[in-house]
């Protein structure tokens, strides 16, 4: 089960099936718009998933793809990891570079892929072989990603306004809470070490919520000027 910010639960199977149905609908619209005559069984899908997904999860995904009607046969979908997708993109880049250069010029050279995701940061080193092939010679993974920074921001909010206040806002104002976290994610993209301050916009509804609840130890007039 997947739990939304407001506490409501939704079965992961239903979520994936509806997502694949939406993709199938978009596929049909795209084909009609561009006058592409392609039947469902003519399409090969490449589905990119996080590297940490287990085999049982991939088996379920293939089953849900069939149930949704997006594919007719199991061979129509190839499920690969995010790191593999990045490696394939790198190989394509090398192949395009070599078009007007000596064949196998980069054979033996190495490149590093950094997969900085939500839960993990993975670094892998690859060696270029003959005919633009690539093999991984080293990899390392650490449990530190975007979610780790988000959790530190949430702890800061708890420390500033109180955990009970934030839990109540998250439960009763789920949409605004989501807006708050989205604002923080956008701010992360503009972060730079040389800046003396880091600003993140708080939703107006959150400020009004604080003013109405008036948490202990926080004056209303200070809430009007709080920023991070």
At 176-197, the pLDDT tens digits run 998 999 888 888 877 766 666 6
Per-domain boundaries in the chain: 2-81, 83-142, 146-223
How far apart are the two ends of the chain, measured CA to CA in Å? 34
The tens digit of pLDDT for each residue in 22-61 reads: 999 998 899 889 988 888 888 889 888 877 788 888 888 8
| Residue found by looking up tokens 């064949």 in the block | 103
Residue 227: per-residue pLDDT:
46
- Strand 45-49 and strand 77-81: the pairing is parallel
The tens digit of pLDDT for each residue in 114-127 reads: 877 777 788 888 88
**Cα–Cα nearest to 188, from 196, 199, 203, 179:** 199
pLDDT band at 207 (very low <50, low <70, confident <90, very high): confident
Residue 100: per-residue pLDDT:
56
Following DSSP, what letter does each residue of 78-101 receive, concatenated? EEEEHHHHHHHHHHHHHHHHGGGS
**Cα–Cα nearest to 224, from 213, 216, 210:** 210
pTM of whole model > 0.75? Answer: no
117: exposed, middle or buried (Cβ count in 10 Å: 0-12, 13-18, 19+): middle
Q: 225 Cβ partners below 8 Å, 6+ apart?
A: none
């Amino acid at each position: 089960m997947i739990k939304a910010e407001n506490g409501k639960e939704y079965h992961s199977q239903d979520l994936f099936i509806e997502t694949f149905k939406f993709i199938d609908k978009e596929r049909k619209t795209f084909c009609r718009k561009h006058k592409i005559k392609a039947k469902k069984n003519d399409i090969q899908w490449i589905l990119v998933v996080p590297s940490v997904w287990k085999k049982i999860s991939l088996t379920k995904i293939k089953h849900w793809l069939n149930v949704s009607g997006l594919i007719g046969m199991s061979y129509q979908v190839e499920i690969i990891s995010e790191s593999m997708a990045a490696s394939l993109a790198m190989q394509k880049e090398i192949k395009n570079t070599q078009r007007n250069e000596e064949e196998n010029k980069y054979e033996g050279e190495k490149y590093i892929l950094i997969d900085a995701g939500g839960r993990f940061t993975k670094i892998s080193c690859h060696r270029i072989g003959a005919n633009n092939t690539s093999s991984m010679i080293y990899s390392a993974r650490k449990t530190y990603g975007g979610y780790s920074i988000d959790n530190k921001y949430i702890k800061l909010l708890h420390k500033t306004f109180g955990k009970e206040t934030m839990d109540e806002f998250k439960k009763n104002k789920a949409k605004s809470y989501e807006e708050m976290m989205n604002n923080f994610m956008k701010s992360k993209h503009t972060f730079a070490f040389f800046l003396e301050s880091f600003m993140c916009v708080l939703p107006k509804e959150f400020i009004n919520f604080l003013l109405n609840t008036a948490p202990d130890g926080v004056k209303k007039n200070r809430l009007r000027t709080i920023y991070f």
